[in-house]
Amino acid sequence: MLRITKTFEDDSTITVRLDGKIVSTTTAELEEACRQYRNGGGKALSLDVSGVTFIDDDGLGMLKKIKRRGIAMVNGSPFVETLLGRLKK
């Protein structure tokens, strides 16, 4: 299960918090949420991943796509930061 909640919005940025697992069964939901928030007036999108507890290979692939689109990921636990560090390669 993945919960996606908008937590902050100002004139230039929307921040969305992710809670739960980013896995094969939740990647489509995450992709759709990112698309919806990105189409909200040209604002930058930031994903707060502090509530993410697990990421499988499909989830990591989705995060790689998201990162290429210029969406920032912030507040990751050491586990998440380690996985996200693999996206730089």
- The fold of the 2-88 domain, in CATH, is Transcription Regulator spoIIAA (3.30.750)
How many angstroms separate the first and last alpha carbons of the chain?
Answer: 28
pLDDT, one tens digit per residue, over 36-80 is 988 767 789 999 999 999 999 999 999 989 988 899 999 988 888
pLDDT, one tens digit per residue, over 7-24 is 998 889 999 999 999 999
Domain borders along the chain are: 2-88
Question: For 89, how many CA atoms within 13 A lie in the half-sphere containing its CB?
Answer: 7
- Say if residues 62 and 22 touch (Cβ distance below 8 Å): yes
Report d(CA 41, CA 3) in Å as an integer. Answer: 23
